[in-house]
Structure 1
């Protein structure tokens, strides 16, 4: 297990993280983001949507409509990134994560429903402004613009299944991997520890020195998750440990 963040992701000095909704960056890669930021590696986070369709922990916000929830989650995200020490963040569709010559646009949360297998699947209906309804090339060109502006030497996102299957997560993986291929930079997928094989394909990063920052950032996302001791409780009631290790696998882009 490598402990020096300057050697993580093959020693690339600046890594672009691609996440679908506010809170994903902290739950999945918060410790890594905090470690890279503290080491002066200036990680860049691109968030694809504002989480307009997310469920809400009761009593945490008075927002009752998608736009109100989006504004609330943007505030939570700003607080979480401050806790992590991440200064470079942009929403996809807004400069510099917007293709040159195009007016800014908002990619909205596509929503989801739970499938019979316990994994997320596409919602019965998605708004015309939803991320998954957008032209694929528009999404890719915006992400290319963000990577160019950041001087990204590597790109990180979800695994091919989007973690738990959310359609926005799956799209994020495909788009991020395609952009990495186009720019000829390494692509890394975040993998859960219980699925991380011991075959040398996975790197595990000890984020325990930055765990307090990750926990503070998790608390900032109060409308979505609750910190309960050393565990995280999702809005749907699912519990997971707050691990001191985050794992990544390098794939051929």
Structure 2
């Protein structure tokens, strides 16, 4: 597919916004849920910016030789390298970790927000972990991460902000926190906020023509032209998942298809 064929449709995504800011909790989240969209926006010259909130220190590791590597070097270091390689596969050049300039409030020393961890609840969703450190994203006063995200959103000239829904997709505390601060920043800067549609609605096939699903307006991105890039990026996150054909297999054994359609819902706050 040529640039002439790709760019017109992609330029209409997110209401035609340029420099869309994506807020993700851990390395690999960006590719699993928004990898094709990021690749498309980058290829179209729309300069998407990814802010990753933590380095995924609390993630489990796929059993095997990678466990020794993560133990020797530290999982945070390994996952940072995996993310770097994934972004290269997606063609994404603009990325920063929260707490590091330009994603740090003025006059504050750089900081690291650590992964808060999670535990599985009886209903199958994720909940808080008892092992969250004093430096974890959800333990540090929320005003700090909020101010950092506000700084980078304002300075980067973001035209819209994308993050998880208010349940964090599957409940992980860091995902819920990402939603809260991303939505608050969007409201403060009067920017459109788009939540990632996950679950059964997101898995509806690419041949769906309806603009609404379950009575809710949803913008569907057919990322088929960038599917191979997304698949290649997923393969770089080797400590967290494996790619089996067209499926993702997570460290816990959960399996689901690699999405060829990525869906987003615009959420308008009452004060906007």
Q: Same fold (TM over 0.5)?
A: yes
After TM superposition, give the deviation of residue 27 of structure 1 in Å.
Answer: 0.2
Q: How many residues align?
A: 252
Q: Is residue 2:183 matched to residue 1:167?
A: no
Gap runs ≥5 in structure 1: none
Counterpart-to-counterpart distance in 1, 2:19 and 2:72: 33
Q: Is residue 2:208 matched to residue 1:203?
A: no
The answer on whether the counterparts of 1:52 and 1:67 sit within 8 Å (CA) in structure 2 is: no
The answer on whether the counterparts of 1:52 and 1:66 sit within 8 Å (CA) in structure 2 is: no
When Rg is computed on C-alpha atoms for both structures, the one with the higher figure is 2
| Structure 1 vs Structure 2 CA RMSD | 1.6
Counterpart-to-counterpart distance in 1, 2:117 and 2:73: 14
Q: Helix, strand or coil: the match of 2:21?
A: strand
Q: Helix, strand or coil: the match of 2:166?
A: coil
Counterpart-to-counterpart distance in 2, 1:75 and 1:205: 28
Q: Is residue 2:27 matched to residue 1:11?
A: no
1:118 corresponds in structure 2 to 124
Deviations 1:66-100 (A, max 9, x none): 97100000000000000000000000000000000
After TM superposition, give the deviation of residue 118 of structure 1 in Å.
Answer: 0.6
After TM superposition, give the deviation of residue 189 of structure 1 in Å.
Answer: 0.2
1:154 corresponds in structure 2 to 160
Counterpart-to-counterpart distance in 1, 2:91 and 2:232: 11
Counterpart-to-counterpart distance in 2, 1:125 and 1:235: 19
Q: Which moved further from structure 2: 2-11 or 151-160?
A: 2-11
Aligned counterpart for 1:191 among listed residues 193, 197, 209: 197
2:35 corresponds in structure 1 to 30
After TM superposition, give the deviation of residue 199 of structure 1 in Å.
Answer: 2.8
Gap runs ≥5 in structure 2: 1-6, 203-212
After TM superposition, give the deviation of residue 192 of structure 1 in Å.
Answer: 2.0
Q: Helix, strand or coil: the match of 2:248?
A: strand
The answer on whether the counterparts of 2:70 and 2:78 sit within 8 Å (CA) in structure 1 is: no
The answer on whether the counterparts of 1:61 and 1:72 sit within 8 Å (CA) in structure 2 is: no
Aligned counterpart for 1:242 among listed residues 235, 255, 258: 258
Counterpart-to-counterpart distance in 1, 2:164 and 2:61: 23
Q: Is residue 2:235 matched to residue 1:230?
A: no
Counterpart-to-counterpart distance in 1, 2:217 and 2:28: 27
Counterpart-to-counterpart distance in 2, 1:42 and 1:134: 30
TM-score (norm 2): 0.89
